[in-house]
């Protein structure tokens, strides 16, 4: 209508522009950009614990990763975390959000607050609480399982390589499903009520309305939810570090814990950098995708 | 109170030319309305005067002082925005006094100025409210009050009424007229609404594609539009435009042929001047007839220009009636209806219904003729179409 | 129709209530556990304590949890302050200036959003330790701020893009130069956006673990996340003290969240938009 979108005031940007920008830009460059570049550079070197001695190693760190079964195991475990988290967190998050959005005449704010609350708790604290709950002597879980007439795992919930990762998935679900629920709920509440009323007049109610109004309405939010969960699944560190440190026998090893182990326990900084670059590339790619999707909505 | 001069103003956005060489003289105390369609440059022009846009070249001066390089707040102008632009975190009083406070005026002076402006606008009892709790009309009053408080040399209005509903808009038009009379201030007002332009302006500036199309008093522009664009822009419903061809030209009349019209249209050449140069038999022209430029089809002497049509839409306005007529062979182009219906205004009540057959005739004495370039070549016996409409 | 509708409603309430219980029980069990005796823990893990006294909290406090709490508060408050101020300035400039350099700067900052600390922790640690910044509460604020800035700038940038330009233009005509406009007009209206960003970053910094683990190794400077990890080692089987320590770590941020959840949720919604 008017030409104001092209507007630019007479008093334009000047040197003060850069003064206002510098603190933020400086911090980001110093603590994010430069370390990222150093990680990439360092992945081509062998670096000792003292880390002053860099020896060029070419692609040796990368070929080492390709031939390292634990690296592949860690990557596989990350993928299990990703897929498992999407199914559990986004899945239940969607169901809960749909119920809170339109299903309950009252109480939805209270339920939302409760279900979301674990998200703000420290993952270390969450892990420790669950460690105590799963403790074979004083834990509530074994007592509960026995009361139901079942047998708890003999090696402990996190001591059995076959189930440890699944137990961690459940703890992650406990902490983050509320986050997904709130994210999706925001998307649901962005759908104008009139659309449902119009659809009802057109004969679409219940599942039909869900299929034709709700799903298209939260499509982008769902994609973002899946991407955030995927990124989280690759970045997972605190939860595993505080519960199993990657064990037993690497059964819960993931890229984050493996980087830590290689760098700070074994002193293989160069090799750890190579694994970091893999994680970095995955994270940046997914982050870029997330922004693309977000921008479209 | 001050005069405003704009000389050879040009404003480019890269390769896009928003304003191409505009010059305008606004005498002290005049209410100038700049009007035109979206993208014509009227807002850019206003914002250039305010200093919110830098200009590419040219000069803007107030009372002879060149202000084109001066900071916005030192120009002596105040602006009323389309969306009011009231500071949400300040009360009405603080909003109105903000400029003076920033300028370093004493509390007493600020309060005095605010009280005076509030008195003029009759919003004394709103002063302690926040903008959020005001209605649209009240917000607009506060926005105007904020401008008054500063006692600027020139008031600038950027489509200030377009966010109000129809009833409020006509009320505010009266209000603004009163305000102008009371303050006697120089005001520049931008709108895309031709009604606002016609009702409030001392002079109207019609802009199109960054160029001034015509400047003049409202009725001057209405009766003697220099171009087909101005003719079509002022007046509602729009003037009907019908394609025609010159048959012959004699001393007193232009004889035109139009598809669907039984006889030749005989347009009297009273105001034609020299505009007919180069016209000959076969030249394409456009005939313009305002909705009030029709007579009943059976009126003696007009039968040759009879249009037999079907009523498509009837709008009863009370005393008056608007008809949209499907004229068969006669089609209006560039009109409000895509179907090319003719808009016809009768100053009486008509019991017409959709689909009904109706005969009207063009009054040749109320017809404009435009050449292919859009310039007006023949003006009617102005303001005769008002009489013709009553027939 | 009516009775079917009621059954559906019961089912929905049932599901949501079950999930809420699933979330609440471990948390409640933690708080209640802080009041139990060792004996009560072993004999009846699901039971309630006989009496409510705060001995376990005192024991936990005595091993340094109080200090961890203060350290966490200090680091969180200072980091959030830096993040909000620095991001607001930068986002304002970015949203109001349109040229190639600004687009590049925005791109760098957005790219920073995608970089996880885990992936750059080795060079980051080497840099920080090389600069002698280990075991300093002031020093850890800098990387914390750096990792909070990108998302906050993205949030504020969106806020400034939505901010009515006309208000700034009106201020310009009223006599404000850009800096005055920022402080008189823009900043007073940023309240909700600042609250959203601040609470969001506060939660993340309060809970941050990896950097704190590597940078804060002396007991005197540890924050809660790192501090509570050593509780298990300090009290081999004093479960009540461990639960008390965990409660001290969790309850403050939980309280803040419940009080300010409106803003937190708004910030989250920014992720989806």
Q: Where residue C84 sits, what CATH number does that domain have?
A: 1.10.3720.10
Q: Which residues contact C119 (CB under 8 A, 6 or more apart)?
A: A36, A39, A259, A276, A277, A279, A280, A283
**Lowest mean pLDDT segment, chosen from A45-59, A232-246, B236-250, C83-97:** A45-59
**B158 touches A at CB < 8 Å:** yes
Q: Is a pLDDT exceeding 90 seen at residue B28?
A: yes
Chain B residue with Cα closest to C163: B85
Q: Is A118 in CB contact (< 8 Å) with chain C?
A: yes
Residue found by looking up tokens 């885990």 in the block = C118
A96-100, B171-175, B330-334: which range is least confident on average?
B330-334
DSSP one-letter code for C35: T
Residues of B in contact with C176 (CB under 8 A): 73, 102
The lowest-confidence range among A209-218, B32-41, C43-52 is C43-52
Range of the domain at C15: 2-33
Would you say residue C53 lies in a domain? no
Contact between A224 and C272 using a beta-carbon 8 Å cutoff: yes
Buried b (16+ CB within 10 A) or exposed e, C13-28: beebeebbebbeebbe
Distance of residue C200 Cα from the nearest chain B Cα, in angstroms: 25
Residues 6+ apart with CB under 8 A from A243: A127, A130, A131, A158, A168, A171, A252
Q: In this predicted structure, which of A66-80, A93-107, B25-39 has the lowest mean pLDDT?
A: A93-107
Among A145-149, B205-209, B274-278, name the most confident range. B205-209
Would an 8 Å CB–CB cutoff place B355 in contact with chain C?
Answer: no
Residue A9 and residue B18: Cβ atoms within 8 Å?
no
Q: Which residues pair with B284 in a beta bridge?
A: B245
Report pLDDT digits (tens) over A167-214.
999 999 999 999 999 999 988 988 888 888 888 888 777 778 888 888
Residue in chain C lying closest to A226 (CA): C272
Contacting C residues, span 55-114, partner chain A, CB-CB under 8 Å? 86-87, 89-90, 92-94, 96-98, 105, 108-114
Which tokens in the block code for residue A46?
């062998």
Contact across the interface for A8 and B192, Cβ inside 8 Å = no
pLDDT at B250: 84
> Which among C13, C23, C118 has CB closest to A117?
C23
Contacts of A11 in chain B (CB under 8 A): 71-72
| Count of the separate structural domains present in chain C | 2
Q: CA-CA distance, C234 to C245, in Å (whole number)?
A: 11
Per-residue confidence at A24, pLDDT binned at 50, 70, 90?
very high
State the number of CA atoms in the 13 A half-sphere of B145 facing the CB: 33
Q: What token pair was written down for B278? A: 């180069």
Residue of B nearest to A8 (CA): B53
Peptide bond connecting B237 to the previous residue in cis, omega within 30 degrees of 0: yes
**Any idea which residue has 């090319």 for tokens?**
B340
From B72's Cα to the closest Cα of chain C, the distance in A is: 5
**pLDDT (tens digit per residue) in C171-208:** 999 988 877 888 889 888 998 889 888 988 998 999 99
Share of chain A above pLDDT 70, in %: 93
d(CA B210, CA B207): 6
In A, residues 126-185, which contact C (CB 8 Å cutoff)? 128-133, 137-140, 142-144, 174, 177-179, 182-183
Residues C9, C93, single domain; the answer is no
Contacts of B53 in chain A (CB under 8 A): 7-10
Q: Are B287 and B369 in contact (CB under 8 A)?
A: yes
Could you tell me whether strands B367-370 and B376-378 are parallel, antiparallel, or unpaired per DSSP bridges? antiparallel
Q: Searching chain C, which residue's CA lies closest to the CA of residue B80?
A: C170
Judgement on whether residues C12 and C84 belong to the same structural domain of the protein: no
Query: Would you state the pLDDT for residue C2?
Result: 57
Could you give the ipTM of this predicted complex? 0.87
CA dihedral of A199, A205, A206, A209, whole degrees rounded to 10: -20
Q: Under an 8 A CB cutoff, do A36 and C13 touch? A: no
Name the 3-class secondary structure at A158: coil
Residue C45 in domain: no
Mean pLDDT of chain C: 87
Do residues B60 and B6 make contact, with C-beta atoms less than 8 angstroms apart?
A: yes
**How far does B330 lie from chain C, in Å, by closest CA?**
48
Lowest mean pLDDT among A168-177, B368-377, C25-34, C263-272: C263-272
- Mean pLDDT within C8-18: 89
Phi-psi region of B237 (alpha: psi -120 to 50; beta: other; left: phi over 0): beta
- In this complex, the residue of C172, C185, C188 whose CB is nearest that of residue B73 is C172
pLDDT higher than threshold 80 for residue B280: yes
Question: Are the CB atoms for A183 and A228 separated by under 8 Å?
Answer: yes
Is C42 a member of any domain? no
Domain with CATH 2.40.50.140 in chain B: 237-389
Rounded Cα distance, B231 and C222, in Å: 80
Q: What is the pLDDT of residue A7?
A: 39
Rounded-to-10 torsion of CA C239, C245, C250, C252: 140
The beta strands (E) that lie in A142-260 are given as: none
Q: Is the pLDDT of residue B336 over 80?
A: no
For residue C249, the distance in angstroms to the closest alpha carbon of chain A comes to 7
C-alpha to C-alpha distance for C52 and B317, rounded to whole angstroms: 82
C67 and C28 part of one domain: no
In a domain, A30, yes or no: no
Report pLDDT digits (tens) over C101-113: 888 898 898 888 8
With contact defined as beta carbons under 8 Å apart, do B176 and B201 qualify? Answer: no
Judge whether C43 lies within some domain.
no
Which of the residue ranges A101-105, B175-179, B272-276 has the most confident prediction, judged by mean pLDDT?
B175-179
A193 touches chain B (CB under 8 A): no
Query: Would you report the helix, strand and coil content of chain B in percent, each value rounded to 5?
Result: 30, 30, 40
Closest by CA to B379, choosing from B259, B150, B220, B218, is B220
Q: Is the pLDDT of residue B208 over 90?
A: yes
**Which tokens hold the place of B27?**
């005498």
- In this prediction, residue B275 has a pLDDT band, given cuts at 50, 70 and 90, of low
Give the CATH superfamily of B4-229: P-loop containing nucleotide triphosphate hydrolases (3.40.50.300)
Residues of chain B contacting A3 with CB distance shorter than 8 Å:
18, 39, 41, 43-44, 47
Residues of B in contact with C173 (CB under 8 A): 50-52, 72-73, 77-79, 99
Question: Considering the domain boundaries, does residue C126 fall inside one?
Answer: yes
User: What is the nearest CA distance from B85 to chain C, expressed in angstroms?
Assistant: 5
Local structure of B245: helix, strand or coil = strand
Range of A291-295, B31-35, B167-171, B350-354 with top mean pLDDT:
B31-35
CATH of the domain at A236: 1.10.3720.10
The pair of three-digit structure tokens given for residue C136, joined into one six-digit string:
């300093």
Q: Give phi and psi for B287, each to the nearest 5.
A: -95, 130
C204 and C112 belong to one structural domain: yes
How does DSSP assign B57-117, residue by residue?
EEEEEETTEE-TTS-GGGS-EEEE-TT----TTS-HHHHHHHHHHHTT--HHHHHHHHHHH
Q: Which of A194-208, B207-221, B270-284, C116-130 has the lowest mean pLDDT?
A: B270-284
C198 with C101, same domain?
yes
User: A-chain residues within 8 Å CB-CB of B13?
Assistant: 6
Q: What is the distance between the alpha carbons of residues C175 and B100, in angstroms, rounded to a whole number?
A: 9
Across the beta sheet with B342-346, the strand order is B294-296, B357-362, B306-316, B321-326, B342-346
Distance from C-alpha of B172 to C-alpha of B140, rounded to nearest angstrom = 9
How far is residue C177's CA from residue C169's CA, in Å, rounded to a whole number? 10
How many Å apart are CA A292 and CA A286, to the nearest integer?
Answer: 10
CATH number of B237-389: 2.40.50.140
* Contact status, residue A170 vs residue A254, Cβ threshold 8 Å: no
* Structural domain harbouring A243: 41-296
pLDDT given at position B246: 92
Span B30-39, average pLDDT: 93
Nearby residues of B62 by Cβ (< 8 Å), 6 or more positions away: B2, B3, B4, B5, B75, B76, B77, B153, B154
**pLDDT tens, residue by residue, A254-287:** 999 999 999 999 888 899 999 999 999 999 999 8
Q: How many domains does chain A have?
A: 1
Give the chain C residue whose CA is nearest to the CA of A51.
C126
pLDDT digits (tens, 9 = 90+) for B113-154: 999 999 988 899 999 999 999 998 899 999 999 999 988 999
∠B191-B196-B200 over CA atoms, to 5°? 115
DSSP 3-state assignment of C225? Answer: helix
Does residue A135 sit within a domain?
A: yes
Does C130 share its domain with C76? yes
Torsion angles phi and psi, residue B216, rounded to 5: 175, 175
Dist CA A90 CA A88 (whole Å): 6
Q: Report the pLDDT value the prediction gives residue C8, as an integer from 0 to 100.
A: 81
Among B305, C239, C272, B385, smallest CA distance to A131 is for: C239
DSSP-derived pairing of the beta strands B4-13 and B57-62? antiparallel
Where in the sequence of chain B do the CATH 3.40.50.300 domains occur? Answer: 4-229
Mean pLDDT over residues C236-242, rounded? 80
| pLDDT at residue C156 is higher than 80 | yes
DSSP codes joined into one string, A256-295: HHHHHIIIIIS--HHHHHHHHHHHHHHHHHHHHHHHHHHH
**Is the residue at C44 inside a domain?**
no
Whether A10 contacts chain B with CB within 8 A: yes
Mean of pLDDT over chain B: 88
Cα of C102 to nearest chain A Cα, Å = 10
- Going by pLDDT thresholds of 50, 70 and 90, the confidence category of residue B272 is low
- The whole-angstrom separation of Cα A63 and Cα A61 is 6
Query: Is residue A107's pLDDT more than 60?
Result: yes
pTM above 0.90, yes or no: no
Cα B80 from Cα C11, distance rounded (Å): 57
Q: B159, A2: Cβ pair inside 8 Å?
A: yes
């Amino acid at each position: 209508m008017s030409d104001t979108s092209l507007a630019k005031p007479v008093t334009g940007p000047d040197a003060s522009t850069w003064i206002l920008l510098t603190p933020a830009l400086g911090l980001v460059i110093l603590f994010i950009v430069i370390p990222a570049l150093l990680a990439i550079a360092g992945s081509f070197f062998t670096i000792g614990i003292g880390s002053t001695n860099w020896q060029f190693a070419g692609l040796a760190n990368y070929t080492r990763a390709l031939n390292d079964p634990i690296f592949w195991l860690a990557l596989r475990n990350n993928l299990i975390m990703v897929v498992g988290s999407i199914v559990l967190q986004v899945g239940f998050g969607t169901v809960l959000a749909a119920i809170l959005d339109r299903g309950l005449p009252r109480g939805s704010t209270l339920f939302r607050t409760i279900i979301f609350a674990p998200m703000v708790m420290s993952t270390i604290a969450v892990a420790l609480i669950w460690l105590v709950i799963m403790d074979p002597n004083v834990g509530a879980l074994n007592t509960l399982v026995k009361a139901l007439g079942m047998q708890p795992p003999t090696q402990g919930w996190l001591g059995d390589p076959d189930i440890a990762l699944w137990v961690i998935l459940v703890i992650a679900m406990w902490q983050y499903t509320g986050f997904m629920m709130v994210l999706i709920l925001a998307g649901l509440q962005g759908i104008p009520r009139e659309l449902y009323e119009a659809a009802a007049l057109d004969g679409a109610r219940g599942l039909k309305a869900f299929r034709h109004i709700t799903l298209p309405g939260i499509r982008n939010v769902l994609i973002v939810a899946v991407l955030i969960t995927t990124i989280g699944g690759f970045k997972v560190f605190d939860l595993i570090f505080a519960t199993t440190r990657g064990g037993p026998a690497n059964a819960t090893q993931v890229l984050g814990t493996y980087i830590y182990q290689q760098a700070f326990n074994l002193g293989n900084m160069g090799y750890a950098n190579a694994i970091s670059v893999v994680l970095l590339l995955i994270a940046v790619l997914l982050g870029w995708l997330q922004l693309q999707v977000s921008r479209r909505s | 109170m001050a005069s405003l001069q704009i000389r050879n103003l040009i404003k480019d956005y890269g390769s896009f030319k928003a304003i191409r060489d505009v010059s305008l003289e606004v005498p002290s105390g005049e209410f100038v309305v700049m009007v035109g369609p979206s993208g014509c440059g009227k807002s850019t022009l206003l914002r250039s005067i305010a200093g919110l846009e830098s200009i590419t070249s040219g000069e803007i001066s107030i009372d002879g002082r060149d202000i084109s390089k001066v900071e916005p707040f030192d120009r002596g102008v105040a602006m009323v925005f389309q969306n009011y632009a009231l500071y949400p975190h300040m009360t009405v009083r603080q909003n109105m006094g903000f400029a003076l406070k920033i300028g370093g005026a004493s509390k007493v002076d600020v309060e005095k100025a605010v009280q005076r402006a509030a008195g003029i606008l009759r919003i004394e009892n709103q002063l302690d409210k926040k903008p959020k709790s005001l209605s649209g009309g009240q917000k607009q009053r506060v926005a105007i009050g904020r401008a008054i408080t500063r006692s600027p040399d020139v008031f600038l209005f950027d489509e200030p009424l377009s966010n109000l509903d129809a009833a409020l808009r006509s009320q505010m038009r009266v209000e603004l007229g009163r305000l102008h009379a009371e303050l006697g201030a120089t005001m520049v007002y931008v709108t895309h609404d031709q009604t606002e332009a016609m009702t409030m302006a001392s002079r109207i500036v019609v802009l199109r594609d960054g160029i001034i199309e015509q400047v003049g008093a409202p009725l001057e522009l209405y009766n003697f539009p220099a171009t087909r664009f101005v003719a079509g822009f002022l007046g509602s419903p729009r003037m009907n435009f019908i394609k025609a061809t010159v048959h012959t030209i004699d001393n007193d009349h232009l004889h035109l042929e139009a598809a669907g019209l039984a006889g030749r249209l005989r347009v009297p050449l009273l105001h034609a001047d020299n505009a007919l140069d180069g016209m000959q038999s076969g030249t394409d022209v456009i005939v313009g007839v305002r909705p009030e430029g029709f007579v009943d089809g059976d009126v003696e002497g007009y039968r040759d220009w009879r249009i037999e049509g079907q009523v498509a839409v009837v709008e009863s306005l009370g005393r008056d009636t608007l008809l949209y007529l499907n004229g068969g062979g006669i089609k209006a182009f560039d009109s409000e209806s895509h179907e090319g219906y003719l808009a016809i205004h009768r100053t009486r009540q008509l019991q017409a219904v959709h689909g009904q057959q109706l005969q009207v005739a063009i009054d040749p004495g109320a017809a404009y003729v435009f050449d292919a370039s859009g310039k007006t070549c023949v003006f009617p016996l102005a303001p005769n179409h008002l009489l013709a409409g009553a027939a | 129709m009516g009775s079917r509708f009621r059954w559906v409603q019961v089912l929905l309430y049932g599901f949501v209530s079950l999930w809420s219980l699933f979330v609440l029980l471990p948390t409640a069990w933690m708080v209640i556990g802080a009041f139990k005796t060792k004996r009560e823990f072993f004999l009846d893990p699901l039971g309630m304590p006989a009496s409510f006294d705060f001995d376990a909290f005192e024991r936990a406090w005595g091993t340094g949890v109080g200090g961890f709490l203060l350290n966490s508060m200090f680091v969180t408050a200072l980091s959030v302050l830096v993040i909000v101020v620095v991001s607001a300035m930068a986002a304002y400039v970015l949203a109001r200036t349109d040229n190639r350099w600004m687009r590049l700067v925005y791109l760098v900052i957005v790219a920073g959003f995608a970089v996880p600390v885990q992936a750059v922790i080795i060079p980051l640690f080497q840099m920080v330790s090389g600069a002698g910044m280990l075991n300093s509460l002031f020093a850890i604020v800098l990387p914390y701020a750096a990792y909070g800035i990108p998302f906050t700038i993205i949030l504020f940038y969106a806020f400034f893009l939505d901010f009515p330009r006309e208000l700034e233009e009106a201020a310009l005509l009223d006599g404000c130069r850009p800096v005055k406009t920022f402080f008189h007009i823009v900043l007073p209206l940023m309240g909700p956006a600042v609250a959203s960003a601040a609470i969001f970053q506060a939660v993340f910094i309060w809970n941050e673990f990896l950097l704190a683990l590597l940078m804060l190794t002396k007991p005197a400077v540890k924050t809660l996340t790192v501090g509570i990890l050593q509780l298990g080692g300090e009290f081999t089987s004093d479960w009540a003290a461990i639960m008390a320590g965990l409660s001290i770590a969790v309850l403050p941020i939980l309280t803040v969240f419940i009080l300010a959840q409106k803003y937190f949720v708004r910030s989250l919604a920014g992720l989806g938009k």
